[in-house]
Structure 1
């Protein structure tokens, strides 16, 4: 993906991302802290930090976080969230994950990606981190699993495709999920000792949350619709109501964690 496109992926979506994208459970961060032996001296990088979804919980468990994102709006929202939380141990940098060494971050032990690894040149990033991280350093991937479709998925997809076409939009182009999974790519590389974990939680979402969630995605960001965004939102509301009723909608929220280390570690 072109670098300018990466910066535009979530243009105008930072506030919606912070408000509507589900966070990760505390037990995920607690497990990460235990497995990687976080201390007050641990310093990590959060690459593609977005509005600070993972940055702030991580900062509460380590001595310092280098938070990097190409989108200035995301960084502004993340900085505001850190200030509200009273956390002063986060260094914010505008840039791409691939550019971490150029940002002169100082020593970092581990690199975390919260729903962002797929937006990078994964092979280049792994090679860069292999050169940058210490022998015990790890790549940590936080993500979401969708083994069961949400009740509104088909209705939302149909409306989105009516307005934007069947190809999944991203920036000024389109996006397809990588043919090789994150786990398989890591297993085949220098960080081949991979530990996968999953976390399930029963939650309820209401109609406004489901509609707001669509504003947080790169493939349905407001800038993609031009002057038709209001029309899209109205059609979306009508379709979700017809498919699922007024809510609330009980679902199983599924989060994933991958900790990848060098085998000798």
Structure 2
């Protein structure tokens, strides 16, 4: 198998509030790239799959006539609705469902986006669903980010993961109420697209600077599938974890502020 076969409803259980507030926001340069490459002009329709708290759909709301954000996590969608309301993004419909359940009844879309989520989906099945949902001049943008600390060379990120491992075990947890473990994908997203009905694909990269405080990084960790708040069992344990993490990070950087340059890869594909 090159992808997960079933959806685990505990995958981001308890993460939505943190996800909406502490996951890195996509930078304007990314949306400028999407606007240019897919010729976005305020018309057409967008389908954002695995939309989470709306971090793609909401910033793009003025680039489309109509937007659908789809995610299986009800708490994520509730956060998305709150954020959209605050920003006046009233042309977005939020749908609780799995991307694999897509129906042609949705009509045709100019663009389908997937950010930080394609690896959780049944990719071979979904890629053909997406192709059939696109207008003849439509396209797909899969957005990959690299803030994940597990394979980072930054000393402060290595320190953070060491503290996480001391509390939650050496293996990277994911879903099943903390009892599952991450398995790297055997086949890349690009290979999945290359074997699909899409006849053209291209990768683009943008970079931006991200600054963290210790508190914002703790919030980020709680937004991830490997460090959900529930994994610590009690509020007391969470307080101890946070205190240990803070002490360890301050030993690396006494200012408590961490800055890094993060790349974003857009895997773009066009129907025609």
The answer, yes or no, to whether TM exceeds 0.5 is: yes
Q: Distance in 1 between matches of 2:21 and 2:85?
A: 16
Please report how far the alpha carbon of residue 99 of structure 1 lies from its aligned counterpart in structure 2 after TM superposition. Answer: 1.1
1:245 alignment counterpart: 254
**Is it true that 1:261 corresponds to 2:263 in the alignment?**
no
Stretch deviating more after TM superposition (150-159 or 117-126): 150-159
Q: Distance in 1 between matches of 2:43 and 2:141?
A: 18
Q: Distance in 1 between matches of 2:32 and 2:173?
A: 35
Q: Distance in 2 between matches of 1:185 and 1:4?
A: 19
Normalised by the length of structure 1, the TM-score is 0.91
Please report how far the alpha carbon of residue 216 of structure 1 lies from its aligned counterpart in structure 2 after TM superposition. Answer: 1.1
12, 18, 21: which is aligned to 1:16? 18
Q: Distance in 2 between matches of 1:98 and 1:16?
A: 26
Q: Helix, strand or coil for the counterpart of 1:178? A: coil
Please report how far the alpha carbon of residue 191 of structure 1 lies from its aligned counterpart in structure 2 after TM superposition. Answer: 2.2
Q: Helix, strand or coil for the counterpart of 1:219? A: coil
Please report how far the alpha carbon of residue 171 of structure 1 lies from its aligned counterpart in structure 2 after TM superposition. Answer: 1.0
186, 189, 196: which is aligned to 1:182? 189
Q: Distance in 1 between matches of 2:253 and 2:183?
A: 28
Pair 1:169–1:192, CA change in 2 (3 A): farther
Normalised by the length of structure 2, the TM-score is 0.88
Q: Helix, strand or coil for the counterpart of 1:67? A: strand
Pair 1:148–1:217, CA change in 2 (3 A): closer
1:106 alignment counterpart: 107
59, 62, 65: which is aligned to 2:61? 59
Q: Distance in 2 between matches of 1:97 and 1:28?
A: 23
1:191 alignment counterpart: 198
2:30 alignment counterpart: 28
**Is it true that 1:232 corresponds to 2:241 in the alignment?**
yes
2:210 alignment counterpart: 203
Instruction: Write out the 4+ residue segments of structure 1 that deviate beyond 6 Å after TM superposition.
Output: none
Q: Indicate the RMSD between aligned Cα atoms, in angstroms.
A: 2.0
Pair 1:61–1:206, CA change in 2 (3 A): same
Q: Distance in 1 between matches of 2:196 and 2:5?
A: 24
Alpha-carbon contact 2:20-2:53 (below 8 Å) kept: yes
1:158 alignment counterpart: 162
Q: Distance in 1 between matches of 2:269 and 2:108?
A: 19
1:122 alignment counterpart: 123
1:168 alignment counterpart: 172
Pair 1:203–1:164, CA change in 2 (3 A): closer
Alpha-carbon contact 2:110-2:139 (below 8 Å) kept: yes
Q: Helix, strand or coil for the counterpart of 2:193? A: helix
How many correspondences in the alignment? 261
Alpha-carbon contact 1:139-1:191 (below 8 Å) kept: no
Please report how far the alpha carbon of residue 235 of structure 1 lies from its aligned counterpart in structure 2 after TM superposition. Answer: 2.1
Please report how far the alpha carbon of residue 3 of structure 1 lies from its aligned counterpart in structure 2 after TM superposition. Answer: 4.4
Q: Distance in 1 between matches of 2:154 and 2:216?
A: 13
Q: Deviations for 1:149-168, whole angstroms, at most 9, x for unmatched residues?
A: 33322112112112222221
Please report how far the alpha carbon of residue 56 of structure 1 lies from its aligned counterpart in structure 2 after TM superposition. Answer: 0.6
Q: Distance in 1 between matches of 2:73 and 2:86?
A: 20
Provide structure 2 residue ranges, at least 5 long, that are not aligned to the other structure. none
Q: Distance in 1 between matches of 2:222 and 2:154?
A: 17
